[in-house]
Structure 1
Amino acid sequence: MDGLPTMMNLHKRGVNGCELCPCCGKEPESVLHSLVRCEVARRIWDFWVNCPVDFLSNAMDITNVALKICESGITQDLETFLGVAWISSRLQNRLSNLLSSSVSGRGKKRTKPPPRTFKINVDRVTSENGRSSSVGVAIRDSTGMITAAWCKYLQGQYSVTKTEALAVECGVLLARDMELSHIIIESDALAAFQGILAAEIEGNLGHVY
């Protein structure tokens, strides 16, 4: 577990000088925090309704959590725990990269939005080996500060264009829930935006428009 690239482990190796979790910014990012206690991880674990161990409210390290599940549950429960922990780690790494990145794919610095306007940065993860895609969203205010972030593991594998469009949709829905009326959406996938703006009723992307 010490091999996971958490902020605390990287700090111990002299890679960076900050131990705070890049996703929530509230606690040092230990392995336990990254996989269990971070707000992003908790939202994922909340979906495990029949979890045999209440590890979210108990002070256990990640090894003890796995051992407790072995004692209290069945083999499938341990497999579920390890699988969800892996998914949570991947999503947080992607979200962390999205939040900490100050340079876009073309090498240009991201500019702050105008006053009383919010900028939505979106990104996606997809592959060609059948694995499910995932998306990440970060919303910044006119000072450049992050006011909200969200990541989502999709139930299926989609093309880059479709996954980016779904990331835009997640960003728009998050902005709607926050009642933001003035927004700018920033993405590095031109084809996705062309599909969205085309607003083709019979297309796969037009519904986002």
Structure 2
Amino acid sequence: MCKLCVNALATKENFYKKNCSPSPNCPICHDRIEPVKHMLFECDWTRAVWFSSSLTLIPPSPGTSSVLQWLDTRIAATTSKKESSYLISGFAFVAWSIWTARNKFVFEHNLVCPLLIIKSASQAQSEFLSLLNSSCLESLSSVINYPSQWIPPPVLSVKFNCDGTFKRGSASIGVVRRNSDGSLINGLGCKVNVISSLQSELLAIRKAYMIITQQRIAHSIVESDCKVVVHLLQSDNAPPWDSAVVIEDIRFMASVSSISFSFVARSGNRAAH
């Protein structure tokens, strides 16, 4: 959703502007240039998805200045928080399913099927809403108490705290290494070229893993204050395609070394900010 709102999706038009594609035309219909609006709403198969979905949303007109403006108008027309939550989550899952199907067509030559896309998006939204409305989230948050302050690693161990930032197209990473006494061993900070905060967080963690692997540091602990990244690295699910290479690098380095990786509250990760 973040990339959609700032026009950072890897559409043919955006690739063409960066000289990364010989043509800006849609890879499916081949008839029109593929900006975000065409990819999500204006191509014949995506129009079929929106008209057939339970949201019954009418795609934005050609004169609409931005997708975000169009969505804001639809949200403002809702009459309850429950209705707006349904609309926002439904839009997000349908848009994601369209984007995924488009990429599978481009890279895996899978045919696009509006009915399958609607089914996939509907199932994902149902699971999300049931989890959102369940009491298990509240019980989990009360059981899991993440440290709010930095905790030194065990004797003879070192701890790496990592952080990444992404603001207004500019990104940077920070990595701090400390011993069991809490003494700073070293650290680094540098700018990176990424398109999202997720990627900057991942690059900071990969940098820590690379230092550990290259210097053969034993008994290392790596911490991040980004729950999304921690979940991605600790799960076996397929990673987002735009961050898959970095995630697979980290997973590989973790598999050949004894590195402990965990989440820490932001207040306990300040040294890396």
Scaled by the length of structure 1, what TM-score is found? 0.44
- The structure number with the bigger radius of gyration is 2
Query: Larger % of helix: which?
Result: 2
Scaled by the length of structure 2, what TM-score is found? 0.34
